[in-house]
Chain A
Amino acid sequence: MMRAQVWWACVRLGALHRFAYRMEVLSAVVSAAVVVFLNASVWNAVVDGRPGLAGLSPVEVSTYAVIAWIATIVSATRLDEILGARVRDGQIATDLIKPLDLHLWLILRDLGRAGASAALTAAPVLVLAASVFPFVWPSRVGSWLWVALSMVLATLIGGQLAFLIGLVAFRLKNVSGLAHFKASATAVLSGAVVPVQAMPDALRDVVVWLPFQGMSHTPAMLFLEQLDGAGVTRALGVQAAWVVGLFLACRWSWARAIDHLTVQGG
């Protein structure tokens, strides 16, 4: 029971951290709106006057473009840079002597961050975008539940991928370049830039075997109600399997990375 309270505190602190600076909350909304609106503008122009694209109707393409980017904004994290910075300035040493598991602590804190970001950034941008661009809301209440669950799994995927990148800092000492590369790669491979079903065949065949699509394509498909009952279970199952797989990968890499740790500074 005690442990559950500790972990909940991690989630809560991660969220509170986001609420702390009002100007930052506002600028997060504006910058998210800029990219979401750009993506929606371009894809709207593409389907303008056409019957649809890759099996989606024009309004669905527009909605996908909005939801997929918003999902990336929630699920993509700077956890890799945070972990990298802690290694670079030596703070990692104090982290290691705390009676907390660093991996779980960072992941849960990031879940809190994502929750706050969903409420403070994603929700206002979603409402704004839906009022400017052609948009279709889910018709069933149940779909919201699946989207919410899918977003939690998406965040756990994004957080653990970032954790793995951050661990590279244990050897390279500097991950900011790698973190930027990961951010660009994630935007492409998750379906945020180009919907997965509109990707060139060769790329799509690779993407379906990667974890990134769970970060925005899956929530977008659930939002659009493009999947039947079995399809929903399967999509969420694939996301959950990636969460477990990445969890094991993190544990294994974490155990090995500690052996290579050099603490900087005194």
Chain B
Amino acid sequence: MTRVITAWVAQRVKVRLAYRGDFVFQALGDAVITLVGLFLIATIFTHVPDVRGWDVHELLVCWGMAEACLGTFWVVFQGIYAINRTYILGGELDRLLLRPVDPFVQILLDNLHLEDVPVIGLGLVVLMIGAHGAGVVWGPAEIVMLPVMVVSGALVIGGLLTAVTALGFWVHHQGSAIGLAYQLTVYGRYPLDFLPRPLAILVSTAMPFTFAGFLPATWFLDRPEWHPYAAIQPLVGVTLMFAAHRFWTWSSHRYASTGT
């Protein structure tokens, strides 16, 4: 299985590097969006020393964590954007169902988006800069949890959007539902007490994107009141992804080929 996956990734790299210019342009384009966010934070803190008790270093850690989770999500889960159009409506799923590998995994591997690897790096750099300023001491608990939390954060986003995508088997034209759900991830970047109450509740329960940014970030900060929530974050990510995958597989039995 590992050999299959390695071969798949290698193939994907070759395909992408065939158009080198486009590859570079895409990677740059995503970085610009990040710079806009950093510009916002930098400007805010030229005016005020803290925002509702959070200083610039703490916000950078939240921001970097959210960015690293999002970057990982983009790299791994790009395929779910293609599920509805290409695989369900286009009937491409036929091909995958004939192979002895989980069709969902095949879709992800076929669509790995390696041009977003720099986004993960950028997120980690921002997180490190913030952590340095906030005086984070890197003990074993921090070093082990960082990669675990980045991956789990990606699973939170990936799990939720996979569930939304699975709806496509039931309602063929789901339109922009996945795009709308994705947009809510921006709220995960900021401390929950920045948000009006209804929004804070939304992103910590029904659409728990705060587990892909703010909450895991608090693990590294001197904010013990949030640590219990941060500690269960890996569990939330794995559970969500597991449940979403089950739902997806179950829904996929409704798939009817287009006959192509």
Contact = CB atoms under 8 A, between A and B. Distances in A.
Interface of A: 23-24, 27, 30-31, 34-35, 37-38, 41-42, 45-46, 48, 50, 53-54, 132-133, 174, 177, 180-181, 184-185, 187-188, 193-194, 198-200
Contacts of B176: 23-24, 27, 31
B7 interface: no
Interface string B21-34: 01001101100110
Contact of B183 (A34, A132, A177, A193): A34
B101 interface: no
Contacts of A38: 186-187, 190
7 contacts: A23-B176, A38-B187, A41-B195, A41-B196, A42-B44, A184-B36, A194-B39
A35 B5 CA distance: 37
Given A30-B183, A188-B39, A193-B39, 14 more contacts: A31-B179, A41-B194, A41-B195, A46-B44, A174-B22, A177-B28, A180-B29, A181-B29, A184-B36, A188-B36, A193-B40, A194-B39, A199-B43, A200-B46
A133 B198 CA distance: 12
B146 interface: no
A3 B190 CA distance: 53
A225 to B, nearest CB: 23
B47 A46 contact: yes
Nearest to B196: A132
A76 to B, nearest CB: 14
B180 A31 contact: yes
Interface size range on B against A: 20 to 34
A45 B52 contact: yes
Contact of A198 (B29, B43, B190): B43
Nearest to A48: B52
Contact of A41 (B35, B40, B190): B190
Interface of B: 22, 25-26, 28-29, 32-33, 35-36, 39-40, 43-44, 46-48, 51-52, 175-177, 179-180, 183-184, 186-187, 190, 193-196, 198-199
A30 B187 contact: no
A174 to B, nearest CB: 8
A151 to B, nearest CB: 23
B39 A35 contact: no
Contacts of B199: 37, 41
A177 B26 contact: yes
Contacts of A198: 43, 47
Contacts of A180: 29, 32
A31 B28 CA distance: 24
Given A34-B186, A35-B186, A48-B52, A54 B175 contact: no
Nearest to B174: A23
B89 to A, nearest CB: 16
A168 B190 CA distance: 37
- Pick the 3 closest A-B CB pairs, nearest first: A45-B194, A177-B25, A27-B176
Contacts of A177: 22, 25-26, 28-29
Nearest to B186: A38
A213 to B, nearest CB: 16
A34 B39 CA distance: 20
A185 B28 CA distance: 13
Contact of B179 (A27, A42, A45, A50): A27
Contacts of B183: 30-31, 34-35
A190 B223 CA distance: 36
A180 B32 CA distance: 9
Contacts of B193: 45
A187 B40 CA distance: 11
B19 to A, nearest CB: 11
B183 to A, nearest CB: 5
A200 B47 CA distance: 10
A80 to B, nearest CB: 14
Contacts of B25: 177
A253 B22 CA distance: 26
A181 B32 contact: yes
B210 to A, nearest CB: 13
Given A27-B180, A31-B183, A53 B47 contact: yes
A46 B179 CA distance: 28
